Amino acid sequence: MKTSVHSEIGQLEGVIIHTPGSEVENMTPANAERALYSDILNLSIAAKEYAQFQGVLKKVSEVYQVKDLLTDILAIGEIKNKLLKEICMTEHIDSCQQMFDAPAKELASLLIEGVILEKNNLTNYLSNERFLLRPLHNLFFTRDSAMAMNDNILVGKMANPVRERESIIMEAIYKYHPLIETTILNPGKPKDGIMVNRKSMVEGGDVQIARDDIFVIGTGVRTSTQGIDFIIENIKKQKKEKHHIIVQELPETPESFIHLDMVFTFLNTDECMVYPPVIFGMSRFKTIHIEIENGEVSKIEEMPNLPKALKKLGMDLKPIYCGGSSDAWIQEREQWHSGANFFAFAPGKIMGYQRNIHTIEELEKNGYNVLTATDVIDGKVEVNDYKKCVVTIAGSELARGGGGARCMSQPFKRAKVNW
């Protein structure tokens, strides 16, 4: 399968996910913040909720698990050695023999769930760490570690070291797995004369493909302006025809604003979900339009807001408000629990948390039929019977991890949209 994502809303054909396992419980309140969590999760509840998310995806697309794909490539000795050496070097681990000796399936689990630190010398005995190789607490938010941009895969350059291994794993999967054919772009390993910039950071929650020629990218605590400059340089080298990047500045606090998709997502050919205080507020952050043509940046200008910037480029999107349009307090509450973070699996067909009832009501007012994940999974309703629908998934526990349906999905193949 060749990677091909030319919009945020095209019919989903291939997606990579990761079912959360013991790694999400391998933390305590003392180290939750280091793991980028504001609370600790209950896996038994989160797993039931995630089963709804996965079940719906399986009804509409081919679905692949990170652990399965990783196991496949680890079965090849040369790739296993190369990947382990990179991980051990990146995480400054001297003793990797336990991992080198492990068979592929067991090793895949170790790389995701962590390796316990053996208290077999004085240094280890006195260490407060539980793990030699820390668990990947955030891996089920697969969106961030790699993102499809048209026919390429952009590997995430993560803002926090605790997530670096996620990108290393995903780059290896896209590079070596026979299932997928793609061209890889990596801000941490630039090529074609593009220099490494240590300040480059790019995470998938900030990168949205509006159309073949339009990328919408957030910049804040997780994606730096230098990371966006890396994308600009690659467009200059690869594309001669006119392309556009719309950059949306994001607040640094609170933590619910970490990515663009927490305040803005595409829903349909003519609709988007917005969190009004950030997108339209009086003290809103800058929206910048960058035009690239014939290998050069031909224009950089500030725009009034994100929807107006898109409208100028021929995408006239009606904004639907996260939390509804009547109460700013409700908007704030529902945004906190990923109320703007919807995942489109086809034009006008989206998935999100049912807990955000005012957002769901606002979608219903705008013609979206509300379907429950359990009814879709059980075959009681068919998404293809509706022109527009929102499939609601349980999210009392998952939402506490700090992300929604878009965060938990990594599409690598979508059908083209008939604009």
Residue 29 clears pLDDT 70, i.e. is over it: no
Average pLDDT over residues 245-263: 92
pLDDT at 37: 61
Neighbours of 121 (CB within 10 A): 10
Q: If you average pLDDT over every residue of the chain, what do you get?
A: 93
Q: Which amino acid is at 96?
A: C
Separation of alpha carbons 209 and 222, rounded Å: 18
pLDDT at 30: 65
pLDDT at 288: 97
pLDDT at 34: 53
Average pLDDT over residues 115-135: 90
pLDDT at 185: 94
Q: Any idea which residue has 């996910």 for tokens?
A: 17
Select from 416, 350, 405 the least CA-distant residue to 60: 350
Residue 35 clears pLDDT 60, i.e. is over it: no
pLDDT digits (tens, 9 = 90+) for 285-322: 899 999 999 999 999 999 999 999 999 999 999 999 99
Q: Which two tokens stand for residue 30?
A: 């003392």
Query: What is the pTM (predicted TM-score) of this model?
Result: 0.95
pLDDT at 53: 98
The dihedral built from the CA positions of residue 43, 49, 54 and 55, taken in this order, carries a sign that is positive
Q: Which amino acid is at 372?
A: T
Task: Identify the band that residue 8 occupies on the pLDDT scale cut at 50, 70 and 90.
Answer: very high
pLDDT digits (tens, 9 = 90+) for 73-119: 999 999 999 999 999 999 999 878 889 999 999 999 999 999 999 89
- Top-confidence residue, 36 or 265: 265
Average pLDDT over residues 133-150: 95
Separation of alpha carbons 357 and 390, rounded Å: 12
| % of the chain surpassing 70 pLDDT | 96
Domains along the sequence of the chain with CATH? 12-410 (3.75.10.10)
What's the half-sphere exposure (Cβ side, CA atoms, 13 Å) at 137?
A: 26
Give CA 94 to chain center in angstroms. Answer: 31
Q: What is the DSSP letter of 385?
A: G
pLDDT digits (tens, 9 = 90+) for 333-375: 999 999 999 999 999 999 999 999 999 999 999 999 999 999 9
Q: Please state whether 121 falls in left (phi above 0), alpha (psi between -120 and 50) or beta.
A: beta
pLDDT at 307: 97
Residues 216 and 208 sit within 8 Å (Cβ to Cβ): yes
Whether residue 254 is preceded by a cis peptide bond, meaning omega within 30 degrees of 0, is: yes
pLDDT digits (tens, 9 = 90+) for 215-248: 999 999 999 999 999 999 999 988 789 999 999 9
| % of the chain surpassing 90 pLDDT | 82
pLDDT digits (tens, 9 = 90+) for 193-223: 676 788 999 999 999 999 999 999 999 999 9
Q: Which two tokens stand for residue 260?
A: 């663009």
Neighbours of 249 (CB within 10 A): 15
Average pLDDT over residues 57-81: 97
Separation of alpha carbons 53 and 47, rounded Å: 10
Q: Give the strands of the sheet with 318-321, arranged side by side.
A: 264-266, 271-274, 318-321
Task: Identify the band that residue 19 occupies on the pLDDT scale cut at 50, 70 and 90.
Answer: very high
pLDDT at 261: 98
Residue 36 clears pLDDT 60, i.e. is over it: no
